[in-house]
């Protein structure tokens, strides 16, 4: 598809940024062209968000079957033959082609966006070539995405050394797996693989999830410890050993070399923008290989924009899509800029639960506001001695939260705090919320809107005036209403900080 007529904008890449930006431009009455080799929608439906959502759901079912096996009305469940490779086989055979069909049909047939399919090459800022055919445009938008960083160590070319891109193609289940990198992708992968009888170890050079609230990090550490997922921080990975195939990871810990036997390695140490196709244009390239842009997504070359991962962090689909829209608006003359005042939510899959955050951490809030009010359930110590299906007195701090999956987990394993963590942070002087944090199930959708409410200066009094649907996954409305009557906001008495996990 395509003609030699000039387009208003050529979107070089049909991932999240390119597809949404082109759609917005088309809706505005202009003529966009997407250049794409593989499929519209980028990595989402191949190996990222849609894929990981599915795998996390499958891992949740595996973990829940293990936990509930033989308890109450559940039969004994034989989990010896459960398989991650079988999980991803279903996605390869059904999910990938189904999403590909949906993205293509929606873009070309429903939205009437023109797509030049094939290998693209940028000739100049107004001209691209796709499989020998020339296309010209008034503007060029670079949206070529990113790729996983491969560390400069020996052994990365061994069989069973993976990145997130390889996850859908796993054909044989490993017995022991090392995840190199403790960011959101690495922690998520560890939580996804472990339920399938895979011994998982996470090696992180610095600190896992450094941008997350300490209580959330502690919860994850404690949950991983309970599930026998090992985490080592302050680790310098030196080498991946093996004879054709992975056998071990060698790392330095506290000045001493240690060897972690494994038959698979997941590398998860970050992303590198794919800026190389745009370098001949003379666009400015940053220190991390990103195309440097301003808040309007413009590069230093007039008429050339960059959006999505190629423009550097934050590497979120929401950012890519939104910057695609901002670029379209600017091409249409609407003079639109990225708004830093809107907090960006984040999310991690932790099957059978998930973690979500938006706004300030408690540490950041205390640094900015001094004293803050923390609304949190549960709090305090967990039971030292516990067994399934057993009530334990004097653990009133562990009774909440309860809704859906976490409700059942709390009743079956009372006192173990398998029911997650709900936390809101309030500036008591203005009565405004400054951060929300959650570990549980089903609450992440709310964080899309909590982000906007934070921007608008949402107060505890406004929250208490909402109509909640009870029971609800995040509890913020009812927990806020219980203390909103305090003229001088103090929060809940008799709460103590949860214990630290090491």
Residues belonging to the active site: 40, 44, 49, 100, 470
Distance CA 88, CA 47 (A): 10
Residue 191, token pair as written in the block: 């939580």
What's the full length of the chain, in residues? 502
Report the helix count and the strand count for the chain, using DSSP H and E.
13, 23
45 vs 72, 237, 313, CA distance in Å?
38, 31, 21
Q: In what order do the strands lie in the sheet with 264-267?
A: 161-162, 264-267, 176-180, 199-204, 230-233
Distance CA 46, CA 352 (A): 22
Q: Which of 19, 125, 3 lies closest to 11, judged by CA?
A: 19
**Number of other residues whose CB lies within 10 A of the CB of residue 469:** 9
Distance CA 453, CA 476 (A): 13
Residue 131, judged by CB atoms within 10 A of its CB (0-12, 13-18, 19+), counts as exposed
Distance CA 162, CA 481 (A): 48
8 Å CB contact between 317 and 49: yes
Cα Rg of the chain (Å, integer):
25
8 Å CB contact between 330 and 310: no
Task: List 179's β-bridge partners, or say none.
Answer: 202, 266
8 Å CB contact between 399 and 406: no
Q: Residue 59 — φ and ψ, nearest 5°? A: -65, -35
**Residue ranges in 84-243 assigned as alpha helix (H):** 84-90, 96-104, 184-193, 214-226
């Amino acid at each position: 598809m395509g003609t030699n007529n000039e387009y208003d904008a050529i979107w070089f890449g049909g991932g999240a940024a390119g597809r949404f930006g082109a759609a917005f431009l088309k809706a505005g009455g202009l003529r966009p062209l997407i250049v794409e080799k593989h499929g519209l929608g980028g990595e989402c439906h191949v190996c990222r968000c849609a894929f990981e959502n599915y795998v996390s759901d499958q891992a949740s079912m595996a973990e829940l079957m293990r936990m509930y096996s033989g308890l109450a009305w559940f039969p004994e469940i034989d989990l010896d033959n459960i398989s991650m490779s079988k999980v991803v086989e279903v996605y390869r055979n059904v999910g990938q082609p189904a999403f590909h069909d949906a993205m293509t049909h929606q873009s070309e047939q429903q939205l009437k966006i023109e797509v030049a399919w094939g290998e693209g090459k940028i000739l100049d800022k107004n001209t691209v070539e796709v499989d020998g055919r020339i296309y010209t445009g008034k503007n060029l938008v670079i949206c070529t995405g990113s790729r996983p960083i491969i560390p400069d160590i020996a052994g990365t070319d061994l069989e069973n050394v993976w990145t997130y891109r390889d996850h859908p193609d796993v054909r044989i289940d490993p017995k022991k797996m090392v995840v190199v990198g403790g960011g959101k992708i690495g922690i998520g992968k560890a939580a996804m693989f472990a339920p399938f009888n895979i011994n998982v170890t996470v090696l992180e050079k610095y600190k896992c999830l450094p941008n997350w609230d300490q209580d959330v990090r502690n919860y994850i550490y404690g949950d991983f410890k309970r599930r026998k997922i090992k985490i080592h921080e302050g680790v310098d990975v030196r080498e991946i050993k093996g004879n054709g195939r992975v056998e071990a990871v060698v790392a330095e810990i506290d000045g001493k070399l240690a060897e972690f036997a494994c038959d698979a390695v997941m590398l998860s140490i970050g992303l590198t923008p794919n800026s190389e196709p745009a370098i001949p244009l003379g666009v400015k390239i940053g220190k991390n290989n990103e195309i440097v842009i301003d808040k309007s997504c413009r590069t230093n070359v007039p008429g050339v924009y960059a959006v999505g991962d190629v423009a550097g962090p934050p590497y979120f689909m929401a950012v890519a899509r939104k910057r695609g829209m901002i670029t379209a608006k600017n091409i249409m003359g609407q003079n639109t800029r990225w708004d830093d005042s809107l907090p960006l939510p984040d999310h991690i899959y932790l099957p059978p639960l998930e973690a979500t955050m938006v706004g300030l951490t408690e540490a950041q809030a205390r640094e900015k506001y001094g004293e803050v009010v923390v609304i949190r359930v549960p709090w305090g110590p967990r039971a030292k001695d516990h067994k399934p299906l057993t009530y334990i007195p004097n653990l009133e701090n562990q009774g909440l939260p309860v809704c859906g999956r976490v409700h059942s987990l709390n009743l079956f394993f009372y006192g173990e705090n398998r029911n997650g963590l709900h936390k809101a942070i309030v500036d008591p002087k203005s009565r405004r919320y400054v951060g929300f944090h959650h570990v549980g199930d089903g609450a992440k959708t709310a964080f899309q809107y909590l982000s906007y409410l934070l921007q608008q200066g949402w107060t505890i009094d406004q929250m208490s005036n909402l109509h909640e649907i009870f029971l609800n996954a995040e509890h913020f409305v009812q927990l806020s209403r219980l203390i909103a009557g305090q003229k001088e906001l103090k929060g809940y008495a008799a709460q103590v900080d949860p214990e630290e996990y090491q």
